Structure 1
Amino acid sequence: MKLKLRLNGTPHEMDIAALKPDLELRIDGRGHALRETGTTGALRHARIDGEDIAYHQARSGNRAFLHLGGRNWIVEFVDPRDAAREKVQGSGDIRAPMPGVVVSVEKQPGDPVTAGDTILTIESMKLQTNLLAERDGVLAEILKSEGDVFEKGAIVARLQEEEDGDA
């Protein structure tokens, strides 16, 4: 069964090719071998495609926030039912996936945005995460400023509502 995921806002297809001896994933048709090898405090260790790596991870719902190789990654597993609901609702709300503080504001109201553009950068548990536009549109408002604290699920920015084009 093909699973859908978004990596930093970009959609990908993934399926599990094998569970043993290592987890083998195919992402967009390319195979990857993965084995978790342990932890040291908050640092996790794994072997991916024969290379030893260390990373930090935080989770919120169907999202995993990784700091790996000097970069931050958001991996979101897409539940097909959620994707269908989002299309019906057309929500332009950008919500905080975890409590934290705004580190920087990258866009301003009125700016055009493309799906995957960074709107704000937040910090939670010493992990900086970019909050991305989930669709193309125009930024309607930014509800938090640099230094503002927020709770999980708080709306931090909003895109203008989509027009139907049926008029």
Structure 2
Amino acid sequence: MSRSFDISIGEGDAFSVDVARHGDRATVTIEGRPYHGSLRPAGDGYELTLEDRTERLWLFVAGDTVWLHAFGQAWQAQLVDPVERSRATAVSGDTATAPMPGTVIAVNVEAGAAVGAGQTLVVIESMKMQSEIIAERDGVVDRVFVAIGDTFDRGAALVALEPLDEPEEG
């Protein structure tokens, strides 16, 4: 069984976490780097083994907030809805960027096309979920950096916009 999450710690950027279970063991992949281990109940917490290191871990979950204490540190994390995050933050300024790693499944614009605020520019698939990357404002497509089937990392430029030419008053 495999599950994927987007997690944000503090005010930092969200990052992807994939958990794949293999019997009593698991592989936790954080931003593409795999960690092999297990998690077992132990008293009022858990015993976490990652690679060859075993530590006590305490965990409390309320809604989409997770409090975690392990390795002598404490963290508060938010589980992030990747669809909402892509709608809210994928376009900043003049360039639509990837909110998470994934694959392009549709490109709805081409260079030179006029677009309106809220118009879908690109559709991506990340963690088996489709997200529409929308234009934050009216503009003209300056450049499309991706094509259908392309894979990309979080933060990759997808589409660049330039302002609409305003008609001159005369």
Normalising by structure 2, report the TM-score: 0.46
Return the index of the structure with the highest Cα Rg: 2
